[in-house]
Chains A and B, each alone.
Chain A
Amino acid sequence: MKIVALLRFLILASIAAGSASAQTLPRTVDDRPNLQGIWRAVTRASYDLEAHVARHDMPAGQGVVDGGEIPYQSWAAEQQRSNFENRATADPLSNCFLPGVPRIMSMEFPFHIFQADDHVAITFEWQQIYRLIYIDDQPPLYGGIESWMGNSRGRWEGDSLIVEITDQNDGTWLDAAGNFHGNAMRVTERYSLRDTNTIDYEATIEDSDVFTRPWTMRLVLQRQTQMDRILEYQCQALVEEANGAFERDVRTWHPAALPADNEPFDADAGADLSLPTASSDVQRLADGTPDISGYFMADAGGANYGLEAHEGGIMLPPSRGQVIDPADGSLPYQEWARTERIDRALPHRGYDDPTAHCFLAGVPRSHYVPAPFYILQPPGYVVVLHERMSWRQIPLDGRDHLPDSLRLWQGDSIGRWQGDTLVVESQNFNGKAWLNEAGDVASHAQTVVETFTPVSPTQLMYRATVTDPIAYTRPWTIEMPFNRQDDELLEVACLEDNGDLQHLKDVRDEYRANQNQRN
């Protein structure tokens, strides 16, 4: 009897301990485990999912696969060996291509999980890519259309977030050792918060074309308490800057100095524009702030082809002009920058547009490249996921900007609500982005103040005021509506499919060869 009593005590004690632990997990207002924050996998799995001793290009690892080995079919085991031998060039990541799931979760770069009501978003430092996980019991709107990162659909099972990933193409590997899959792969992820700073992550891989049975890998994700934002790792831009394929613009890139012969900058010349009037029937979140979340497409009126109004022509789309200050609709260029703008519109400069290389579009351009974006409002943030594979995360907690020395393609954005308008201030730009493909000029010195005003239940009025004393003589402001639509994001695998850059380079190189002959 004593033994039975002791066992009963031990069982009850362990149940109590378990429930105590469950109760101390950080939770959201709707009582889900709160996964929001910056995380990183602490593992060597991105080198090789299986146990391995150190190799010249990878440190040792004890393996993360249940049972130790990935159960390949015999042909696939041979393929993996061949991949391994050729990994220096054959690994898709050696071309900075999208890593797919689950590989992206095991890489050493940190990522930020954002948890909104019916979505979880994961933004990655690596190449500014993201995952948008819909939690809505619906099948993917574009199910069956393959992509590098696939379609992610999530659901809660008790305290675990379960995510099913379908429609991934066969272009990605599972690690740097050539472990691979086919396009029939189905991945089921499970995210279980062990304690405030630890997520137990598992991914079960099913692909009967490649494996003999489903198999599971497990990672430990650790909260990165030493960071308050993730920065940028623009893999391909770093490669091209290092090998000379993408050239420095000494006048706009950080830390270019103010040109000595610039006209004085008149910071007070900008018009005192009153904010657009917010709609009285704006939807609101539980805390009363306007609900500006959802899928949006800018009615950009050709901003990506020039911010000043111009007629269209053959292969030159028109622009209605988006500049509302100065009132005449022209950009208040410094003389050198106007000359540069005219030069950039010539065919041999098409190669220099960073978006032709699939680099980030910067701010404000990311909103009016011709692609939609998705706005989420997780606690404390506004997050924008651009279909052209980049993100903006805008903290609302009043924190300071990054130190001046840290310069980013998208800048550093901080937001606040002013009435029903979201106001976002951005600085710390690197000055590498163009404002559009016509070549409107931006420098690292720019600061951007954007306002997002819900002027109807289905429309935000967007403004961006740019203050850039290197390229302009005074601040200027553009305006355009963003229209909310019932749609889902697709993937833009730009770098992976870029068929244009070589043509643009040919045009540039021929021009330079002719110039050299003349000289």
Chain B
Amino acid sequence: MTTRLFKAVLATTGLTAVCSVGTAVAHHAFAAEFDRDTPVQLTGSVTEMKWSNPHAWIYIDVEDENGTVVNWAFETRAANSIIRLGWRPKDLPVGTILKVDGFQARNGSSTASLAAATFSDGRALFASP
């Protein structure tokens, strides 16, 4: 199956929406690892979610300005807290389209801290029941 890809939009200004999907239960200094001055806003297709602790990771294929597909890694809260909210692996199958906001890692890799994510129909990812 061919995965639909979407253009990346690299935001140039700080995000105004305050959302704590990523930071609510951080175990290490997010501010140390990620750069608040490099926000990213991307839409892409989920290739994998690692249900890991103390942070889970969502991998998303994103097409950049040159048409190159880049696999971004978004770090989010602990899998255990996501599980306790009632979310399970079946709720985020491969190929799911997500719109994500985050902050890029200071080492410049295609890695970011997840601030907020929404499905195509506008539902928030990892919302409380």
Contact = CB atoms under 8 A, between A and B. Distances in A.
B29 A503 contact: no
A503 B80 contact: no
A506 B54 contact: no
B120 interface: no
Contacts of B42: none
B31 interface: yes
Assign chain A's interface to a size class: 35 or more
B107 A506 contact: yes
B83 A438 contact: no
B109 interface: yes
Interface string B18-31: 10101111111111
A301 to B, nearest CB: 13
A129 interface: no
A30 interface: no
Interface stretch (A198-206, A211-219, A310-318): A310-318
Question: Taking each of B29, B52, B78, B84, which has the highest tally of chain A beta carbons within 10 Å of its own beta carbon?
Answer: B29
Given A370-B81, A499-B75, 7 more contacts: A314-B15, A314-B18, A315-B30, A490-B84, A497-B55, A503-B107, A507-B33
A506 B34 CA distance: 11
Nearest to A351: B32
Tell me what chain A mostly uses at the interface: helix, strand, loop, or mixed: loop
B111 interface: yes
Interface of B: 14-15, 18, 20, 22-34, 36, 50-55, 57, 73, 75, 78, 80-81, 83-84, 103, 105-107, 109, 111, 113
Contacts of A494: 27, 53-54
A503 B25 contact: no
B70 to A, nearest CB: 17
Given A499-B75, A503-B109, A369 B27 contact: yes
Contacts of A490: 53, 80, 83-84
A504 B26 contact: no
A370 to B, nearest CB: 4
A353 B80 contact: no
A346 to B, nearest CB: 8
Contacts of A387: 80
B29 A499 contact: no
A167 interface: no
Contact of A493 (B53, B81, B106): B53
A305 B111 CA distance: 23
A507 B32 contact: yes
Interface of A: 142, 145, 304-305, 313-317, 345-351, 353, 355-356, 369-371, 387-388, 437-438, 487, 490-494, 496-497, 499-500, 503-504, 506-507, 510
A487 B81 CA distance: 12
B55 A500 contact: yes
Nearest to A346: B32
A304 B23 CA distance: 12
B53 A492 contact: yes
Given A315-B36, A437-B29, A492 B83 contact: no
A437 B80 CA distance: 20
A504 B33 contact: yes
A348 B50 CA distance: 26
A314 B51 CA distance: 24
B80 A492 contact: yes
Nearest to B30: A315
Given A315-B34, A315-B113, A487 B84 contact: yes
A139 B111 CA distance: 38
Given A315-B23, A499-B73, A503-B111, A347 B32 contact: yes
A347 B20 contact: no
A370 B25 CA distance: 6
Given A315-B103, A492-B80, A497 B32 contact: no
A169 B23 CA distance: 28
Contact of B31 (A347, A351, A503): A347
